[in-house]
Each structure stands twice: as C-alpha cells, then as structure tokens.
Amino acid sequence: MSTRREVMALGAASAVTGCVPSLAKSTYTSLAETIRSPLAAHPDSVELIRFAALAGNGHNTQAWRFVVAPSRIAVLPDLSRRTPVVDPDDHHLFVSLGCAVENLALAAEGTGRSAKAVFNAAGEGRLDVELGQSRSSPSNLFQAIPRRQCTRSEYSGAAVPLADIKQLETACAVDGVSIVIETAPPKLNAIRDFVVQGNSRQMEAPAFCEELKRWIRFNEKDAMASRDGLFSAASGSPQLPTWVGNAMFPLVFTEKSENDKYARQMASSSGVAVFIGDKADRDHWIKVGRSVQRFTLQIAVLGMKYAVINQPIEVASVRSGFAKWLGAPNARPDFVLRFGYAKLDQNLPKSLRRPVSDIVVRT
C-alpha cells in the first residue's frame, strides 16, 4: 500500500506530458514546516496531539481521533478512513494508532509529563493515555519526530555499522514484539522476491489499484486541499494535473515497472527489518506500531532513511510463505521496512497532516 506505487508511474507520465515538478519553496513546503514546528516548553493536549499525528500511518489516511479530557487523551480509530482492500481486518489501522501513541508518549515525556497508555478492547478499541508529571528530559527520539519521514527512493547501498544496528534494536524494544534485522545480500534477495510476489498479486487486483489511486494526491493543490493521502512528489514523482494523473495511472502503473523498481530499491538498501507481534490481535498490532515508530525515529536520529515494503505481509497467501521463511510459521509478521542511506541531494517533500481541530474531539 503506498506511494511506492505511483513513483514509477508518474515518472513515466511526466516524460509523456512534459510536466515539470514545482518543488521550489512553496506554500506546500511552508505548510509542511508549520505542521512540524517545534513544541513549546509546556504544550497543551492539542499541541501534543499535533505531534502524535506526525506519526507514520498507512496510506496517510490518518484514521485516528483523539478525545481530550483532564489528564488524559484517548486515541480511537476513525473507521470512516479504513482501507478495506489492502487492510481488510484493520491490522495496519491499529499499527498506525500504535505509531501515533508512541509519538504522543514521547512528546509528553519530552515536555515534562509522564504518559501511560492502556488498551481497551471494548467496541471499536481505544487507547487511554494517562498524563502525569515527570522530570524526564527530551529524548533523541522525541526530537526526531518532525524530521522522520518515509523515503521511497534508491539508497546508496553503504553498509550500516554494527553499533548503529544495535542502537536500532535497542530503540525499538517493546514487550510483546520481536524484530528480525537482515543485512546479508542473499537474505535481502530472498525478501525482494517476497516483495515482488506480493506486489504482483496486488497489481492483479483492480480493487487494490482503485483504492490506492483514491489516496494519491497528484499535485500540491490536491494535497493541500485534503492534507491527507499520498502526495506524489513526496515519493519523488513529478506533479501532474489531477485529470492527467488519473488518466495516466492505469497506463503506466504496471506490474513489471513496479517490480523492477522494487528490485532496484532493494538492491540499494543496507538492510530490512521485520516486526512480529507475539499475538495477532489489536493490542499487539498497537505494540508493533509503537516499536515501528521508535525504530523509524532512531533511523532519523542516525541520519538514515527508510521505506515500508509491506507487500510480503499484505497478501495472506504470500504472508504464510514469508512467515515460514522467517522461521516463524505460526506467527503473523506485522511490518516490513528497508533502510539505508540517502544518495546525495535526496530531500523529498514531507507529507501533510489534517488540521488538529479535525481530529480532536472535546468532551
């Protein structure tokens, strides 16, 4: 699921239409920066929620709501923003909630509060984050929140020092979640094959392509109008008028071009991390999200890049083979990402978020 899909598509489309990306400092860039402006020393709950919502989330649907009460913020799913084709059981939706809760806790702890999250499985499911007082000082992970982003491009291929791999493992340690990190080329090649297999199954499904297209924002204007979804330029693709993007999408978004792109991206990556919850339930999906968010913030701390390659786990038939290959045939692998270092001059625009007033419910 992702803008991974349209990068190649729009690259080819641009060659056809002659459109040039307009990525000079723009209203879009200013908005993306404002959304990520630093927190004040003593932020209120709404400001903490602004930082929570900077978390990674599937298709950038931002399928969350926050209920503010004295000393507590509840995080709930927004099921009107589900992606039922790629995520039929809301697995990614709850992983995304976990990512947001981790940001919320880091932001609270970075500004003099304690934060304890308790999952309540009743009904749609909710997380109650109790806020107290604490003397903790701002962590590196907290400070990296505005800098973290997915970078769906080819990397430099440079190896990651073992000490940095250890830091990544330490940063993402969460009870109930295991992580497997692979850096050896034969293992990365095997994972590439699962990515390609999963991608092929998805590309054969018109409903998958249709759902993905609905969340793509082909230009700044559309991205700023909705402030959600997958902005093409944030994936390194040129911008296009909406009608051109929609028309070109099925023509250039092909199984072969996508698979070739993933193979190149995998060959340029230094490693892959796979996250596996102890159980396949919403509580553990949230824990996985917390672990993923911590890992990706540590990536930003280390000046590295990452991108999500969830194809091996999004297609159930591919997922079972992938679990066997991992040596965990009874587990449900929950999240897969590749990581590495940017090539020079690789600063893609950051994704937008909806206004905080749209996601906060006051009691």
Ligand X SMILES: Cc1cc2nc3c(=O)[nH]c(=O)nc-3n(C[C@H](O)[C@H](O)[C@H](O)COP(=O)(O)O)c2cc1C
Integer Cα distance of 337 and 275 in angstroms: 9
Could you say whether residue 277 binds ligand X (CB under 6 A)? no
Integer Cα distance of 60 and 234 in angstroms: 12
Strand partners, 178: 276
Residue type, 202: Q
Helix axis angle for 206-214 and 185-203, nearest 10°, is 90
Number of H helices, E strands in the chain: 15, 11
Residue from 53, 75, 99, 223 touching ligand X (CB under 6 A): that is: 99
Residue from 82, 113, 152, 213 touching ligand X (CB under 6 A): that is: 152
Could you say whether residue 340 binds ligand X (CB under 6 A)? no
Pick the stretch among 55-63, 76-84, 175-183, 195-203 that binds ligand X (CB under 6 A): 55-63
Integer Cα distance of 254 and 266 in angstroms: 18
CA angle 130, 296, 171 (to 5 degrees): 65
Please list every residue from 189 through 248 that binds ligand X, using CB under 6 A: 230
Could you say whether residue 103 binds ligand X (CB under 6 A)? no
Residue from 49, 76, 95, 195 touching ligand X (CB under 6 A): that is: 95
Looking at the Cβ atoms of 1 and 129, the one nearer to ligand X is 1
Residue closest to 113 by CA, chosen among 136, 145, 93: 136
Could you say whether residue 333 binds ligand X (CB under 6 A)? no
Could you say whether residue 261 binds ligand X (CB under 6 A)? no
Sequence-separated (6 or more) residues with CB below 8 Å from residue 301: 140, 141, 143, 144, 167, 171
Could you say whether residue 10 binds ligand X (CB under 6 A)? no
Looking at the Cβ atoms of 91 and 113, the one nearer to ligand X is 91
Pick the stretch among 30-38, 56-64, 204-212, 258-266 that binds ligand X (CB under 6 A): 56-64
The distance of closest approach from Cβ of residue 70 to ligand X in the complex, given in angstroms and rounded to an integer, is: 30
Could you say whether residue 82 binds ligand X (CB under 6 A)? no
Please list every residue from 304 through 323 that binds ligand X, using CB under 6 A: 307-308, 310
Looking at the Cβ atoms of 152 and 287, the one nearer to ligand X is 152
Residue from 14, 45, 83, 149 touching ligand X (CB under 6 A): that is: 149
Integer Cα distance of 12 and 312 in angstroms: 26
Helical segments of 90-172, H only: 91-109, 140-144, 162-171
Could you say whether residue 60 binds ligand X (CB under 6 A)? yes
Strand partners, 184: none
Looking at the Cβ atoms of 4 and 294, the one nearer to ligand X is 4
For 92, the 3-state DSSP assignment is: helix
Could you say whether residue 298 binds ligand X (CB under 6 A)? no
Could you say whether residue 174 binds ligand X (CB under 6 A)? no
The distance of closest approach from Cβ of residue 96 to ligand X in the complex, given in angstroms and rounded to an integer, is: 5
> Shortest Cβ contact with ligand X: which residue?
2
Could you say whether residue 2 binds ligand X (CB under 6 A)? yes
Looking at the Cβ atoms of 113 and 261, the one nearer to ligand X is 261
Query: Which tokens hold the place of 281?
Result: 């339930």
Could you say whether residue 96 binds ligand X (CB under 6 A)? yes
Integer Cα distance of 311 and 337 in angstroms: 10
In this structure, what DSSP letter does residue 41 have?
A: S
Residue 166: CB atoms within 10 Å: 11
Could you say whether residue 291 binds ligand X (CB under 6 A)? no
Query: Which tokens hold the place of 285?
Result: 């999906």
Looking at the Cβ atoms of 113 and 227, the one nearer to ligand X is 227
Using the structure block, give the residue that is written with the tokens 């991206």.
Answer: 265
Residue ranges that bind ligand X, judged by CB under 6 A: 1-4, 56-60, 92, 95-96, 99, 149-150, 152, 230, 307-308, 310, 351
